[in-house]
C-alpha cells in the first residue's frame, strides 16, 4: 500500500472508526459484567490503584483518566461510600487528599475481573494469541501518540 496523501486520511478514518466501535462494544461487555452497583469508572480507578499499589491524589487520578477534577471527586466519593477506597488528608498540605484502594476495593476489583476476563479471554483465544501480541505494540504506540496530543 502506498503512503500517498489520498490513502492516509482514508486509513486514519477506518482505524478510528474501528477503534471507536471496538471501544463502545468493550465498554458494554465490561459494564454488563460488573458486580451490582459498580460502574466502569469505579472499576477503572480501582484497577489503576490496585496496579500501582500506591496512593494517588484526586488530581493525579483525574489526569490519569483525562477527566476533570469534579468528575473524579464524584467517583472517589462513591468509591469511598462503598468502602472501596480510603481517603486521607495530606499531613503536609491540608488542601490535598490521598486516595488508596481498601481491601474491600481490591476484592471488588478482583470480582469484576473474574466476571469479565473469561469473556475477553475467549475473544483473544478466537483471534489468536500471536495476532493479539502483534497488535499490542501498535495499539500502545497509538495510545502514547494520542496522550501526546491531549
Nearest C-alpha neighbor of 88 from the set 59, 60, 57: 57
pLDDT of residue 37: 86
Q: How much is the pTM?
A: 0.85
Can you name the residues that pair with 98 across neighbouring β-strands? 88
Question: pLDDT tens digit string along 61-76?
Answer: 999 999 999 999 999 9
Nearest alpha-carbon partner for 58 in 89, 98, 91: 98
Q: CA gyration radius for the chain?
A: 19
CA distance 45 to 65: 8
Q: What is the pLDDT of residue 80?
A: 97
Cell 468509591 belongs to which residue?
79
- Name the strand (E) or helix (H) holding 148: helix 129-149
CATH of 34-149, one of 1.20.120.850, 1.10.10.10, 3.30.390.30, 1.10.3720.10: 1.10.10.10
Indicate the burial class of 17 (C-beta count within 10 angstroms; 0-12, 13-18, 19 or more): exposed
pLDDT in tens, 124-142: 999 999 999 999 999 999 9
Sorted by sequence, the CB contacts under 8 Å of residue 18 that are 6+ apart come out as none
Domain boundaries, the chain: 34-149
Amino acid at each position: 500500500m502506498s503512503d500517498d496523501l489520498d490513502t492516509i486520511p482514508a486509513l486514519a478514518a477506518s482505524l478510528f472508526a474501528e477503534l471507536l466501535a471496538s471501544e463502545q462494544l468493550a465498554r458494554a461487555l465490561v459494564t454488563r459484567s460488573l458486580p451490582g452497583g459498580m460502574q466502569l469508572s469505579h472499576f477503572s480507578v480501582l484497577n489503576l490503584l490496585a496496579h500501582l499499589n500506591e496512593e494517588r491524589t484526586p488530581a493525579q487520578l483525574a489526569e490519569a483518566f483525562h477527566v476533570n477534577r469534579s468528575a473524579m471527586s464524584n467517583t472517589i466519593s462513591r468509591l469511598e461510600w462503598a468502602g472501596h477506597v480510603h481517603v486521607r488528608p495530606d499531613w503536609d498540605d491540608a488542601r490535598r487528599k490521598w486516595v488508596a484502594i481498601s481491601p474491600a476495593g481490591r476484592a471488588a476489583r478482583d470480582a469484576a475481573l473474574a466476571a469479565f476476563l473469561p469473556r475477553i479471554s475467549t475473544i483473544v483465544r478466537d483471534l489468536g494469541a500471536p495476532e493479539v501480541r502483534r497488535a499490542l505494540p501498535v495499539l500502545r504506540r497509538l495510545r502514547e501518540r494520542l496522550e501526546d496530543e491531549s
